[in-house]
Amino acid sequence: MIRIKNIFWIILAIPVLLTLSTCEKEDPFKDDLEPNNSRDEAFGLTLGEQVNASIAKGDHDWYSFSVETNGIIDKAGIEIKNLTEEMELTVVLYDSQGNQFGSFTGNAGINMNITLTTRTSSYYIEIYDKNSEQEGKYKITITLLQANDSNEPDDTFKNARIIPSYPSEDITGIVLVNASDADQYGDFEFFILLVNLNKIVNFTLTPTADDIKMNYKIFSEDQSVVVEETEGTPGQILQASVGNGSGGSMSRYLRVGATLGETGNGNYTISFTDTDI
């Protein structure tokens, strides 16, 4: 009789354990970010923090994030780690008004790294499976890359960098976004050249990459054009001068820009010397 009683309790325990296990089972594709299925419900991301997320079949995840750069052009990195081999994630980017300006689709299971060039602004991201048939997990992180040079802000007349004496040291800089007369909202670099009487200030503008076309334009103190925009060929070193043969000392604005090549390398150096007229 004792043996039968023990077996009886063991048999009863099995369905109880099965029931408890079923109750505790969680949906593997439900995350704590929901509801974030529309732009109005976008989940706010904090720069530098990784978020664990899931995509269910037919699900669309929306995120928002803001970048504060004090108006300086910078780059933000969007890293998405696709943890499910079957998912072909599509990532769509929108500006603060909800206007789409970029769309990317990765191969199944591939991680995605998207670089966004930005000034201070806010953005939206929409993520979904390309065919809306797969479900899985991913991780997303937004990072401000602090990619510009230490001379910033120097991309307006107001913030121009003064070159007070000659010869100057080699000044290194970066043009992150195409900047020229044709790209007025690009990443310009402005310098103020102080030119004494009977002196000529010379400058040498040297690109680092062979596929970048540097350009310069010279303005008077009242910001009127003195020398029209001059553009080099890919990789060309540009040299020019500003002279002062009458009156007292004067100043000139030098605007430097560039058109980037396929490498996206906008690094350059510039140096200044002066000579007698």
Q: How far apart are CA 47 and CA 120, in angstroms?
A: 13
CATH topology assigned to domain 39-144: Jelly Rolls (2.60.120)
The tokens describing 96, both together, are 């603060």
Q: How far apart are CA 205 and CA 253, in angstroms?
A: 15
Beta-carbon contacts of 25 under 8 Å, excluding residues fewer than 6 positions away, are none
The tokens describing 266, both together, are 């906008």
Q: Residue 17, SS3?
A: helix
**Average pLDDT by stretches of 10, the chain with 277 residues:** 35 33 49 86 97 92 96 96 93 97 94 95 96 92 96 96 95 97 97 95 98 98 97 98 89 98 97 96
Extents of the domains making up the chain: 39-144, 161-276
Residue 123 · residue 95 · CB < 8 Å:
yes
Q: Indicate the pTM of the whole model.
A: 0.80
Pairing of strands 51-55, 136-144: antiparallel
Q: In CATH terms, are 39-144 and 161-276 the same topology?
A: yes
Q: What pLDDT shows up at residue 35?
A: 86
Beta-carbon contacts of 177 under 8 Å, excluding residues fewer than 6 positions away, are 73, 117, 183, 185, 186, 187, 260
Q: What pLDDT shows up at residue 197?
A: 93
CA distance from start to end of the chain: 120
Q: What pLDDT shows up at residue 29?
A: 60
CATH 2.60.120.380 fits 161-276, yes or no: yes
